[in-house]
Structure 1
């Protein structure tokens, strides 16, 4: 288990709402909801709107990518403090069609200079089973290293 930089799960959610969402124009516009940011794990939820889709009605790849990127960064931030993404790769498994996107990030290895994180993204609709739509891996860098 990876230790958290926050005092409690509730403190981590409050911080992410105040900083990672409210201060990020794109995340605020998307209205991303942090569900969990604790001990090297994150979960976030996005309610889809028509302006987030591409011409087939699926979630645009940039939106799916943002969910994976944020899941990685937020999981990394839970153990390393303020961070930026150094890079990530994503594989789209199938079209992301649904009412919501849910992403989960898990720290694979936290070091002093970088944190390696994996993310999975699912599309959800009503009572249907979630559909796994993307996997990603990111290198997350603490801001004192990135500066």
Structure 2
């Protein structure tokens, strides 16, 4: 699954997304923050936080449904994503034949501070395989 998730996605590879675990309806991934991934206040750009949520949802769904694409997702930003890395965790809520509903949490982490929940998302993932 790692090879499909990262090698198959040029953008995820470019950003530096690293899967920690993709298994049985769950996915966890980490991204080391870089200055070119931030917005004008120095936090992770919303598009990067969204990418992490989207990938966590899609990769969790793929672990139970095979080849998938994102049909839609909704994200709520809860706090600035400050830190040295982002961690996203996705979990399948319900798997159907035509769609998989998944939830993701995106955390901003640093070695010297408690993780901060930066965003939550819900996605509808569509099996295409």
Same fold flag (TM > 0.5): yes
Matched, 1:57 2:42: yes
Question: Which is greater in Rg?
Answer: 1
- Structure 1 moving runs of 4+ over 4 Å: none
CA distance in 1, matches of 2:6, 2:99: 22
Query: How large is the RMSD of aligned CA atoms in angstroms?
Result: 0.8
Report the alpha carbon displacement of residue 127 of structure 1 after superposing the two structures with TM: 3.1
| Number of residue equivalences | 129
- Of 23, 35, 46, the residue aligned with 2:31 is 46
CA distance in 2, matches of 1:37, 1:23: 15
Give the structure-2-normalised TM-score: 0.97
Higher helix share: 1
Corresponding residue of 1:21: 6
CA distance in 2, matches of 1:131, 1:54: 18
Q: Secondary structure at the match of 2:58?
A: helix
After superposition, the C-alpha distances for 1:90-145 in whole angstroms (9 at most, x for unaligned) are 0000110100000000000000100000000000011311000000000000014x
Deviates more, 1:100-109 or 1:24-33: 24-33
Matched, 1:122 2:92: no
Give the structure-1-normalised TM-score: 0.86
Segments of structure 2 that go 5 or more residues without pairing to the other structure are none
Higher strand share: 2
CA distance in 2, matches of 1:42, 1:127: 25
